[in-house]
Amino acid sequence: MKKFLIFISFALWAFAFDPIISADKVAKLIRSKDIVILDVSEPKVYAKAHIPGALNAPINLWRQKHGTYLLVKTKNEIEKLIRKLGIDKNSHIIIYAHHSGKDLLKTSYVAWALELHGIKKSSILDGGFKAYKQKGYPVTKEITKAAPSWYKVQYNPAILTNKKDVYANIGKVRMIDARPAVYYFGAKKQNVLQRAGHIPKATSYFWKYSFKEDGAFKPKGVLKEMLIEGLGLDPNKTIITYCTGGLETSMNWFVLHRILGFKKAKLYDASMKEWANDPTMPLTKYRWE
């Protein structure tokens, strides 16, 4: 009986999923039936070395050009991609990147894109490929091919918003700007934007504030202190996240929605590449002259 209970406890531990997953746990789950590991770095980076069994799913597979900015691909295209990757309703997706910065942001965007299409059971590898390698776990150059699934997309528009909805909710809903403060305040204009500043009434929270110097996530308690207690965000209310063009804000969305339980968090995919480049949309810019 004791051995049986130990086995059950281990099984529940092994197959339970958290939004952040350690390298040690990935190493234990790597050959599990329902585990799908996605390497979201560029193909040339993936080809050099990757976690055994990982599938390469770079960001261009998930996004497409829409005028002057990028948006998540259509439901039909994402459904085809999900099926090609062998993902179904029982899959636990582990997502990782090789580097910090923009490469890391691809992990949260893919997690959001999956949840937008009905796949909620996903985790980001804490510290990424670097943390996995530092533990001494094996890596490979072998290319893995998945057995296709027949997953039917369950679209979840509640976690997505658009320019019209953002405009209608200025001053009514808390909005978080994921860019560096220098862009939020309008002290410096980004080259891809025609105007500087932020959406009126929005709050600044640079996405990197959620990470330690080694690239791992800060503890949940610290994130709660900063975002809920510090900024006064309410997990029970709607919140809109935005950035320059969708990637930075996906990390703030991930921290709020997946780690801290903000069930009504929405991502503005087009973000400032649409908003700031539309002269009819209001902007707030702080001036020190």
3-state secondary structure of 71: strand
Q: State the residue for tokens 């339980």.
A: 261
Instruction: Locate the domains of the chain by residue range.
Output: 17-134, 157-275
pLDDT over threshold 50, residue 169: yes
CB-neighbour burial class of residue 49 (10 A; exposed 0-12, middle 13-18, buried 19+): middle
Q: How many percent of the chain have pLDDT more than 90?
A: 89
CB-neighbour burial class of residue 187 (10 A; exposed 0-12, middle 13-18, buried 19+): middle
Beta bridge partners of 39: 56, 96
pLDDT over threshold 80, residue 5: no
Write down the pLDDT at residue 2.
41
- Could you report the per-residue pLDDT of 198-255, keeping only the tens digit for each? 999 999 999 999 999 999 999 999 999 999 999 999 999 999 999 999 999 999 999 9
Write down the pLDDT at residue 188.
94
Q: Maximum Cα–Cα distance for the chain, whole Å?
A: 75
Continuous segment of H or E residues that includes residue 254: none
Continuous segment of H or E residues that includes residue 112: helix 102-116
Just give the CATH number of 157-275: 3.40.250.10
CA dist 245 and 145 (Å) reads 31
3-state secondary structure of 129: helix
- Could you report the per-residue pLDDT of 9-67, keeping only the tens digit for each? 334 334 456 999 999 999 999 989 899 999 999 999 999 999 999 999 999 999 999 98
CA dist 82 and 119 (Å) reads 9
Q: Are 232 and 258 in contact (CB under 8 A)?
A: no
Write down the pLDDT at residue 16.
52
Q: How many CB atoms within 10 Å of residue 182?
A: 14
The yes/no answer on whether domain 17-134 falls in CATH 3.40.630.30 is no
pLDDT over threshold 90, residue 266: yes
Mean pLDDT taken over the chain: 93
Which tokens hold the place of 35? 């585990």
pTM of the model: 0.93
Helices and strands counted in the chain (H then E): 11, 12
Q: Are 260 and 224 in contact (CB under 8 A)?
A: yes
* 157-275 and 17-134 share a CATH fold: yes
